[in-house]
Amino acid sequence: MRYSLFSVLDHHPAGSRTLAGLYAQVLRQGELADALGFHALYLAEHHFHEYGAAPNPAVLLAALVQRTQRLRLGTAIAALTFRNPVEVAESYAMVDLLSGGRLELGVGSGYLAHEFAGFGIDPAEKRERFEENLDILCRLLAGEAVSIDGRWNKLTDVRINVAPVQRPVPVAVATLRAEGAYEIGRKNQDMLCVPYASVSRFEEIEGLVKAHQKGLAEAGRKDPRGAVGVTLHTYVAETDAAARAEAAEAFDLYVATRLYARRQTYDDILGSGLSLFGSVETVAAKIARLADWGVDHVIALADFGALPFDRVEASMRLLANEVRPRALLRGA
């Protein structure tokens, strides 16, 4: 089982933490993740709203390069629908080069109405735009000179002048739709998913994973290991009651100020099971169930709702030092 971290960089301007303070906290989180042996830290890209305050994750990832040694650095996701794919390839090739080959590139089409409005893009076009841009991005990162007479891109023999270290750069496609898992697998693509936004209950994660694996098998991939990352809100404490006391207010703030269609309180998400909230034993048991379903990469959204960094740090340490070995004893 690989353990990673994810930050939406949700900003809450009514509170005391400034935007600069949020960035500083994410940099500290990356340093700690590196020290604790986490696999990767993923950052979200969002625009025009405090929902997420990293319009260009490559900038923060470049800063994290200087503060980490082993931690892989990723996006979840880079929103290709809104971007020139040549510029995306250039930016993330630089991150991979600067980091010595530690980039994990999660990509997606975007889903928030205000972002499409801000860029003047019709949401009905998003899938076709995404697919065209993804094809160009992958070809450029592979070192190809790209010529294309596409619907949105006209390129003639374009090759980026910064070569990434990794060949190929690992790319995973994000989905918020349960039915999307199979389609991603059928294209032989790795997948990132946020079950909180995709399914109704913890047990349904198994269906997401199996659908993706079915698609991978049909695409000819014989080994699905490492092909899916499952993201869950995470807070680990000494007891379930302590987790509630320390994290419930922050989670409720996160949900109340987010732009999700589905809104859940802390009690709601405990009922659905779509989180890793609770004691070391509670969280380890849930990770063991995920492993039984074929999940081998858990991505912890650990810094939601302006949660004070000392609590983020305490939860991360318990996840790394106590949950991880206990889950391993359970076979995860």
Domains, the chain, in order of start with CATH, read: 2-329 (3.20.20.30)
Q: Is the pLDDT of residue 332 over 80?
A: no
Q: In angstroms, rounded to a whole number, what is the distance separating the alpha carbons of residues 306 and 317?
A: 18
Nearest-angstrom CA–CA distance, 321 and 36: 8
Instruction: Quote the mean pLDDT of the chain.
Output: 96
Does 260 have pLDDT greater than 80? no
Residue that the structure tokens 């990794």 belong to: 166
**pTM, to two decimals:** 0.97
pLDDT of residue 263: 74
What confidence score (pLDDT) does residue 319 get? 98
Q: What is the mean pLDDT of residues 91-110?
A: 98
Q: How confident is the model at residue 257 (pLDDT cuts 50, 70, 90)?
A: confident
115: left (phi over 0), alpha (psi -120 to 50) or beta: alpha
pLDDT for residue 193 is more than 90: yes
57, 62, 66, 72: CA torsion to nearest 10: 60
d(CA 185, CA 178): 12
Distance CA 8, CA 110 (A): 14
Calpha distance 76→45 (Å, rounded)? 7
Q: Do the Cβ atoms of 198 and 177 come closer than 8 Å?
A: yes
Task: Mark 97-130 as b/e (b = at least 16 C-beta within 10 Å).
Answer: bbbeebbbbbbbbbbbeebbeeeebebeebeebb
